[in-house]
Structure 1
Amino acid sequence: MDGPTTHVDRRTLLRSLSAGGAATLAGCTDPLTTDGGSETPRIEIESGRRRDARLVPTLVGFVPETDVTVTARATDAEDRTWRSRAVVTTDRQGTASLASTAPAAGSYAGARSMGLVWSMGLTYRRPPTYFVQDGPEQTVTLSARVGDEVVAERTVTRVFAPDGVTHERVRDEDRGLVGHYFEPPGEGPHPGVVALHGNGNSPLTNFGRMLAARGFAVLAPRWFGEEEPIPDQLVEIPLSSARAMATWLQSREAVTDRIGVLGHSKGAEFALMAASRYDVFDGVVAIAPNAFAFMAPGMVSAGPSWAVDGEPVPTLSRSGNSEIRRKEGRLVIADQIRADLSAADQAQLDRAAIPVEQITGDVLLVGGLDDTIWPMEEMIPRLTARLDTESFQHRVASLVYDEAGHVITVPHKPTTYHHLGGQLYLGGQPEPAAAAEADAWPRIVRWFRDALSGSAQ
């Protein structure tokens, strides 16, 4: 797959996000040992236990030049079994690496080391349609079949975080916080990151675990929902609550005063809005960002999303000029957003624009051009144009993936239904989604490492 289209301004050091960053991250894995002394057919795994490392399955000890059906299966938190398959032919030595051997048939095409993982699907669908991960690890079982006989099997347990990462539930009535805190092993102090979920209001615990595994102390809050003391709807959320999250992290003995913020979708909007107003964030990562203050997707008359000192932040109004089309039975919201932008005059756009040039830290924007919620071809250029000024003295970069959709999260999981979300069509297709996540993740880690100048590993 092609890499992202990367925008940088004159102050950005792209070398900090080069392939070397990904290689450094991949090099931190712990090898899974295999028994190489037997010629019994077996599946060897070249990789590590961490979820952000690639799995490279290799068939060893098979009959030369033989067709072997390799299957993968995993069970998610909803007790649904996901499966994939690849039919590969062994070479003259009786081996076949899935990283270099294209399957003759199966659930994916081309030589792909992670093809069996991202192409896993359901034999039947019931909501939710994405792979639900709830817990610190993921187990994948690989089987190799010749004819009707299973001749080798290997189960791999992949962990979001190694031993030593601690998890704490957070409820702070004084600061109005509810969520999860993840702390890396070691004395610290560690740089901190606030990880903000989107409209779905599920805390980004997987981001939290995986960033903690890389040396960051992470607060993954739920910032609206039914729990007290947080607001019950995404309406007039105080931007000051993001500052409270940062100061909560800074109050921990194991955390430095260098804090970053990561957000996805409405969480990215929240992150950019808050970082534009408060100087507590030294690094920002905005995934599927918006350039304006908008109501949440699907909320037509609920009111503005944000508030400052009890007053609503100016919001771009819905034009009502576009009939929202459907794809696979779901709404394509980006059509309406484009109509809203076209209908607004310049004064309305200026009032609702996020003043990102006021951010006091490094900014990384991440998005897919097939995003059917927020149109990235509109949003990222608008954001980068505001940041490309003489007065903004921090690093700026964007990672734009041509065929990825709205969902770009932690890597190496099934992405077959990434484009489907509740009542909304999210865009993107399985392989580009998987490639975008695998490429973006080490770059995000490296970005925070540089921006926060901490002891992340």
Structure 2
Amino acid sequence: MLQASKVLQFSPKYLLPRNIRTMASAASRDVQVSVTPSSCLHDEPVQIRAEGLSPNQDVTLYLSMRDTRNVHYISTAHYRADSNGQVDVDTMESLGGSYTGHFPMGLIGTLHPAPSEYKFTRFFKRDVLNPNIVDLSVFDGHLTEEKVCTPECEKALASTKHERHYMGPGVQRIPVRYGKVRGSLFLPAGEGPFPGVVDMFGTAGGLLEYRSAQLASRGIAALSLAFFAYDDLPKTLEEFNISYFEEAVEFLLKHEKVRGPGVGVIGTSKGGDLALSMAAFIPSIIACVTINCYSSPIGVGMRVKDRLYPCLPGHDLQNVCLDNEGAVVIRRDVRDPRKSKESTLPIEQSNAAFLFLVGSDDQNIHSEFYAQLACQQLRSHNYQKWFEVCSYPGAGHLLEPPYSPHCSASFQHTFMLPVRWGGRSKFHILAQEKAWYKMREFLLQHLGCDNNVVKEADCQKVTFLKSNL
């Protein structure tokens, strides 16, 4: 059993000491900038401080990070030091830059493509075995992001590095090739057994593992399940058969470290209507979380034995428009499942408790409408199990785990144009925190968790040891 006070052992090559402070040149030797802790799990907040400045000195804090594709992301914030020459982001307000006002995790949450990058780019983390490396610098004066990114910009007063891990100590990643099933299983540290979930995303395709890795770091065994454009799966979305998803649940329940007799499912966007299909037709799904999705199949249908549940009709282009940045806004194209009875999934026959997480500013799907419609369907059949909608004001479509960079629009191959996802940065980032804890609480409650190892892993802040970086 893990003890909250125990220092966990990590491989030295991945980790940094806590409270590391890197000094700059001799000319600025007294200025220090720090991130505390300097290495942590990705869902943990940090404290950012600068010290040794002149009283009331104007400075720019500059954050820089690269994703798996080497796309450069940055954020800036303008602060004024106090009378002691200190800046504490936890307590002080930003005067400009990527955000304004009091926002302790604003620098990390507002990371966005640098001026040299294509602005409609979504941050993707394909390699979860290694952390995100964040560079933090403090510059004299209030600088624009264009200025701070130029080679001619004056040298930073001080700089430091910060690591954000997706996988906690002892978490295992196991590639999965089980029958037709393709994906990765993430197992928490410890003996288990652990509550288990199937985890799916949307039409980005491939295999996205970052949420599963973080769930396992918090005590939940998670199968990151691919369903197209990965390995030997179809390259494009094709008609689904519920048997593929039954096989995935079978694999999960057969694992000795996964606690039965039931498991959960999580789905975002297209993954959400797949999650609803699984809840409707697979009895061992006992907890279902959907994030900003339709309540019926979209894009392609779902075959269950001899019956096909067809997808909802395609987009009505009269209801699709471009915004002032040239991004496609789809929210107004509401395809009402009540007009397509043959597409309606019989979720009222499920054994699952349901949690519908929605962003009220989702510009891709009118997700709140579909969540309420699903609840109305359950209510009309006197559904006896738990179901709930959690709506987050100002949050957009891409409701990710905490402190993932907010992406309000990105290029999508369906339209061959950028698509608007929505969300106002500060509200969206705060919503990601709340939704993450709500989802984990829901899963642990409805999957019958009483395992002390899981409880400790869920609440524990991890201490990391020294890295070679």
The reply to whether residue 43 of structure 1 matches residue 46 of structure 2 is: no
Alignment of 1:33-432 (within 5 A): 33-34=18-19, 40-47=30-37, 49-121=40-112, 122-126=114-118, 129-136=121-128, 137-146=131-140, 148=154, 150-172=156-178, 174=179, 176-225=180-229, 227-228=231-232, 230-257=233-260, 258-294=262-298, 296=299, 304-318=300-314, 320=316, 322=318, 324-327=320-323, 328-336=325-333, 338=334, 340-341=335-336, 348-388=339-379, 391-415=382-406, 417-422=407-412, 423=417, 424-432=419-427
Given residue 181 of structure 1, which amino acid in structure 2 is its aligned partner?
Answer: L
8 Å contact 1:32–1:45 — kept in the other structure? no
Query: 1:447 aligns to what?
Result: 442
SS of match in other structure, 1:65 = coil
Given residue 247 of structure 1, which amino acid in structure 2 is its aligned partner?
Answer: E
Q: Separation in 2 of the partners of 1:127 and 1:107?
A: 14
Tell me by how many angstroms 1:357 deviates: 2.1
Return closer, same or farther for 1:57/1:32 CA change in 2, 3 Å cut-off. farther
Q: Separation in 1 of the partners of 2:306 and 2:125?
A: 37
SS of match in other structure, 2:303 = strand
Query: 1:8 aligns to what?
Result: none
Tell me by how many angstroms 1:368 deviates: 1.2
8 Å contact 2:355–2:387 — kept in the other structure? yes
8 Å contact 1:290–1:374 — kept in the other structure? yes
Query: 1:21 aligns to what?
Result: none
8 Å contact 2:207–2:230 — kept in the other structure? no
Tell me by how many angstroms 1:218 deviates: 1.1
Return closer, same or farther for 1:321/1:161 CA change in 2, 3 Å cut-off. closer
Q: Separation in 2 of the partners of 1:203 and 1:216?
A: 19
Q: Separation in 2 of the partners of 1:127 and 1:168?
A: 34
8 Å contact 2:206–2:228 — kept in the other structure? no
Given residue 324 of structure 1, which amino acid in structure 2 is its aligned partner?
Answer: V
Return closer, same or farther for 1:93/1:217 CA change in 2, 3 Å cut-off. same
Q: Separation in 2 of the partners of 1:232 and 1:154?
A: 42
Q: Separation in 1 of the partners of 2:5 and 2:410?
A: 34
Return closer, same or farther for 1:143/1:395 CA change in 2, 3 Å cut-off. same
Percent of paired sites with the same residue: 24
Q: Note the alpha carbon deviations across 1:218-246, whole angstroms, 9 max, x for none.
A: 11111123632x34442320123222111
Return closer, same or farther for 1:166/1:321 CA change in 2, 3 Å cut-off. closer
SS of match in other structure, 1:434 = helix
Please list every run of 5 or more consecutive structure 1 residues that lacks an aligned counterpart in the other structure: 1-25, 297-303
Please list every run of 5 or more consecutive structure 2 residues that lacks an aligned counterpart in the other structure: 9-15, 24-28, 142-153, 458-469
CA-based RMSD: 2.7
Q: Separation in 1 of the partners of 2:346 and 2:227?
A: 22
Q: Note the alpha carbon deviations across 1:287-311, whole angstroms, 9 max, x for none.
A: 01212233x2xxxxxxx42111153
Query: 1:16 aligns to what?
Result: none
Return closer, same or farther for 1:293/1:149 CA change in 2, 3 Å cut-off. closer
SS of match in other structure, 1:150 = coil
Query: 2:147 aligns to what?
Result: none
8 Å contact 2:309–2:344 — kept in the other structure? no
Tell me by how many angstroms 1:312 deviates: 1.8
Tell me by how many angstroms 1:28 deviates: 11
Given residue 320 of structure 2, which amino acid in structure 1 is its aligned partner?
Answer: I
SS of match in other structure, 2:55 = coil
Given residue 250 of structure 1, which amino acid in structure 2 is its aligned partner?
Answer: L
8 Å contact 2:20–2:160 — kept in the other structure? no
SS of match in other structure, 1:209 = helix
Query: 1:20 aligns to what?
Result: none
- Using the TM superposition, name which of 63-72 and 185-194 deviates more: 63-72
TM-score by length of 2: 0.81
Return closer, same or farther for 1:166/1:224 CA change in 2, 3 Å cut-off. same
8 Å contact 1:276–1:357 — kept in the other structure? yes
Q: Separation in 2 of the partners of 1:83 and 1:191?
A: 37
Tell me by how many angstroms 1:188 deviates: 0.8
Q: Note the alpha carbon deviations across 1:318-375, whole angstroms, 9 max, x for none.
A: 4847353223333323333x2x42xx7x5x4433223222221221111112222221
8 Å contact 1:418–1:433 — kept in the other structure? no
8 Å contact 2:177–2:183 — kept in the other structure? yes
Return closer, same or farther for 1:406/1:98 CA change in 2, 3 Å cut-off. same
